[in-house]
């Protein structure tokens, strides 16, 4: 059953077609990688799927609801309730500790619960680093805090934009292991990447070129 469906989506900036009549679908519990070179429309697609932008044309169905024409207030609600976001540059609140960065997500979702936030940090192996500020954490640790922040509200979809782009190999493996764990638990994952190794970890890869779907590749060697 499809959690996400993009039907004939286009995003046009003046003369530039960032996305040109793109249609994809992602099933519930599926792990999909979106690949493509710079300027292929990956980030535009992520913004649209993440309810941070609207398409110029086409429909975006999330859990059966067309979100392509919803007002921004409603999109904020959907983003808060259904989507967990992970960014390449981590984006942590610099003056809050690791646990407080996780709690911020709870605060805007429902109620901050420090114990639950500590558990989420424990899940990414950072419980003992909970009281550290972002500046006191390594890049890999910061990204793991961001994973904890993304999963704290139990979203239906985790959307990651180049999650390993700024990480060394060891930390990349840690993050991919976390994704595998989330996938086993039934979380839907969409990972935007230009790294073939990260894409190979997914069940399916959608390749974008010049704003269009160039091909879709099912990973025959996918390991749970």
Partner 1 sequence: MLFRMIRGVLFHQKGKMLLIAITIALGASLATGMLNVVMDVEDKVNKELKNYGANITVKPKDASLLSDIYDVGEGGEALNAAYLREDELGKLKTIFWAFNIVDFTPFLDTQATLPDGDGAEVVGTWFNHHLSLPTGEELDAGVQGMRSWWEITDGRWLNEADEGADSEIMVGALLAERKRWTVGETVKLTGSHGERDMTIVGIYDAGGDEDEQIFATLDAVQALTDREGKVASIEVSALTTPDNDLARRAAKNPAALTSRDYETWYCTAYVSAICYQIQEVITGSVASAVRQVAESEGTVLDKTKLLMILITALSLIGSALGISNLVTASVMERAQEIGLLKAIGAKDRSITGVVMTEILITALVGFAAGYGMGFGFAQLIGRSVFGSAIEMNTKVIPIVAGLIALVTIAGSLPAIRMVLRLKPAEVLHGGH
Sole binder of partner 1 in the list 16, 170, 218, 223 (CB under 8 A) = 16
Distance (Å, whole) CA 100 – CA 49: 27
In the complex, the smallest distance separating the C-beta of residue 7 from partner 1, rounded to whole angstroms, is 20
Please name which of 202, 197, 102 lies closest in space to residue 144, comparing C-alpha atoms: 102
Which C-beta is closer to partner 1: that of 50 or that of 58?
50
In the complex, the smallest distance separating the C-beta of residue 115 from partner 1, rounded to whole angstroms, is 14
Sole binder of partner 1 in the list 3, 6, 18, 190 (CB under 8 A) = 18
Q: What is the total count of residues that contact partner 1 (CB under 8 A)?
A: 40
Sole binder of partner 1 in the list 65, 107, 184, 216 (CB under 8 A) = 107
Contact partners, residue 109, CB within 8 Å, separation at least 6:
80, 81, 152, 153
Site for partner 1 in 39-98 (CB under 8 A): 39, 41, 43-44, 46-47, 50, 52-53, 73, 76-77, 79-81, 85, 87-89, 91-96
In the complex, the smallest distance separating the C-beta of residue 85 from partner 1, rounded to whole angstroms, is 5
Q: Binding to partner 1 by residue 5, rule CB under 8 A?
A: no
Do residues 121 and 127 touch, judged by C-beta distance below 8 A? yes
Return the sign of the alpha-carbon dihedral for residues 198, 207, 4, 43: positive
Q: Binding to partner 1 by residue 108, rule CB under 8 A?
A: yes
In the complex, the smallest distance separating the C-beta of residue 190 from partner 1, rounded to whole angstroms, is 14
Q: Which helix (H) or strand (E) holds 180?
A: helix 169-184
Dihedral over alpha carbons 91, 139, 163, 154 (to 10 degrees): -70
DSSP letter for 135, please: G
Distance (Å, whole) CA 133 – CA 191: 27
Q: Which residues in this chain contact partner 1 in the complex, by CB under 8 A?
A: 11, 13, 16, 18, 39, 41, 43-44, 46-47, 50, 52-53, 73, 76-77, 79-81, 85, 87-89, 91-96, 100, 103-109, 112, 149, 161
């Amino acid at each position: 059953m499809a959690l996400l469906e993009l039907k004939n989506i286009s995003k046009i900036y003046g003369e530039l077609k960032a996305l040109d009549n793109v249609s994809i679908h992602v099933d519930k519990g599926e792990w999909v990688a979106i690949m493509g070179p710079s300027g292929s429309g990956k980030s535009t697609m992520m913004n649209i799927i993440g309810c941070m932008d609207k398409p110029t044309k086409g429909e975006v169905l999330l859990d059966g609801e067309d979100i392509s024409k919803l007002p921004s207030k409603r999109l904020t609600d959907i983003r808060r309730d259904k989507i967990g976001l992970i960014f390449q540059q981590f984006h942590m609140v610099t003056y809050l500790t690791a646990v407080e960065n996780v709690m911020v997500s709870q605060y805007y979702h429902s109620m901050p619960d420090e114990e639950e936030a500590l558990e989420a940090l424990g899940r990414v192996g950072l419980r003992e680093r909970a009281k550290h500020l972002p500046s006191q954490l390594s890049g890999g640790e910061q990204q793991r805090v961001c994973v904890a922040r993304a999963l704290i509200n139990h979203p239906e979809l985790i959307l990651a934009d180049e999650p390993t782009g700024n990480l060394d190999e060891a930390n990349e493996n840690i993050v991919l292991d976390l994704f595998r764990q989330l996938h086993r638990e039934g979380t839907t994952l969409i990972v935007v990447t230009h790294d073939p190794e990260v894409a190979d970890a997914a069940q399916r890869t959608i390749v974008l070129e010049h704003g269009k779907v160039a091909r879709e590749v099912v990973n025959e060697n996918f390991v749970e």
